[in-house]
Amino acid sequence: MRKIFLAIAVLVVVNYASAQDPHFSQFFSSPLTLNPAFTGKFDGQFRFAGNFRNQWVSIPNAYKTVSGSVDFGILKDNIHKGDILGIGFSGVSDQSGDGALSLNYGSASVAYHKALDEDGYSTLGLGFQATYSSLTVDLNKLVFEDFLTNGFTEETNPTIGPGNPGAPGGTLANGRSNSYLDMNAGLLYSGSNNGDNNYYFGISFYHINSPAVGFKDTNWKLSPRTTAHAGGTFPLGEQLSISTSIIEQLQDQANETVGGAALCFNANDASDDPTNVYIGSWYRLGDAIIPYVGLEFSGLRLGASYDINTSSLKAATEERGGTEFSVIYITKNPDGNTGIPCPKF
């Protein structure tokens, strides 16, 4: 009986891993997990990004996801004026089931953005990303039927303790952890028709090589994820603008559509170093309304959002989908920034 329930548990966590990647409601604040072609596409010297998500807060420690990245341009004096060659490094840690299943990975990205006009307002970028991933299951945080119905504990039955032959882990032919290499790629077009606005669209492909993932004697292939996304920032007046974005993600039989916008108010009416206040909302189709507030000053942008669950899960989640925070910091170039509009949301 224990082996049967172990197999079911392992199938659940593996199917989760193969059906849906960790994701953020503020996808626009996690550029390197959205599209490798975003690498280096910003106006500045260095870009640091960080994200934290606590999903389904009514269920203790259901899902917690943390990410961080840094990217920057290189060889600026050795490539065509207006072009950008960027490299970046990022990492994600995703904990689910109170840490019973852990996914950690680190990535290295490279992208080249080719200027399509003399001003560099329009660019076409191609990016690639290599990822090393580690998936681990902690059986000590799982409870099986035999433990409940037969009153088994490590004290009353030492054979079920960690590392012992009778432990649930004994049936895991591939051990309790699995590591694999992953390949991702993407395309990104970014444009502006007057130097004040920006619009972009792109497509990215993750898990191109469909790496094998599994804890049992049979591995499952990690399904490729395809993401189409678009957005832009457009002035509405002297101190007011709007930023909007939308994504459509497909992976195996799962899909996600998120779209929305935020109004931006330039509180200090400055063009070189504005203090911007953002208020808006996104909507995940059939799942959640996502109110968003943000503050931007001196190259730093802070964002906070809260998923209000609207799907059939709202009874279990008490309509509390998830709390999320983001931070992006862009340092200025030593010789000053170019002023070329780049994707922000």
pLDDT of residue 216: 60
Q: What band does 322 get if pLDDT is binned at 50, 70 and 90?
A: confident
Q: Is the pLDDT of residue 45 over 60?
A: yes
* pTM of the predicted protein model: 0.83
pLDDT of residue 277: 98
Least confident of 72-81, 138-147, 214-223: 138-147
Q: Is the pLDDT of residue 234 over 90?
A: yes
Residues 6 or more apart whose CB falls under 8 angstroms from that of 132 comprise 105, 106, 107, 179, 180, 181, 182
> Average pLDDT of 261-271?
93
- pLDDT, one tens digit per residue, over 271-320 is 888 999 999 999 999 989 999 999 999 999 999 999 998 876 655 555 55
Q: Which residue has the higher pLDDT, 63 or 99?
A: 63
Distance CA 45, CA 61 (A): 37
Q: What percent of the chain has a predicted confidence (pLDDT) above 70?
A: 75
Q: Is the pLDDT of residue 270 over 70?
A: yes
Least confident of 23-32, 86-95, 215-224, 252-261: 215-224
Q: Are 224 and 210 in contact (CB under 8 A)?
A: yes
Residues 6 or more apart whose CB falls under 8 angstroms from that of 7 comprise 171, 216
pLDDT of residue 99: 58
Residues 6 or more apart whose CB falls under 8 angstroms from that of 185 comprise 36, 37, 126, 127, 128, 129, 204, 205, 208
Distances (CA, A) of 281 to 21, 33, 98, 160: 23, 21, 29, 49
Domains of the chain: 2-330 (2.40.160.40)
Q: What percent of the chain has a predicted confidence (pLDDT) above 90?
A: 55
State the chain's mean pLDDT as an integer. Answer: 83
Candidates 82, 38, 69, 71; CA nearest to 187 is 38
Q: What band does 140 get if pLDDT is binned at 50, 70 and 90?
A: low
Backbone Cα Rg of the chain? 23
> Average pLDDT of 104-112?
96
Q: Is the pLDDT of residue 16 over 50?
A: no
pLDDT of residue 272: 81
Q: Are 103 and 18 in contact (CB under 8 A)?
A: no
pLDDT of residue 197: 95
> Average pLDDT of 229-254?
94
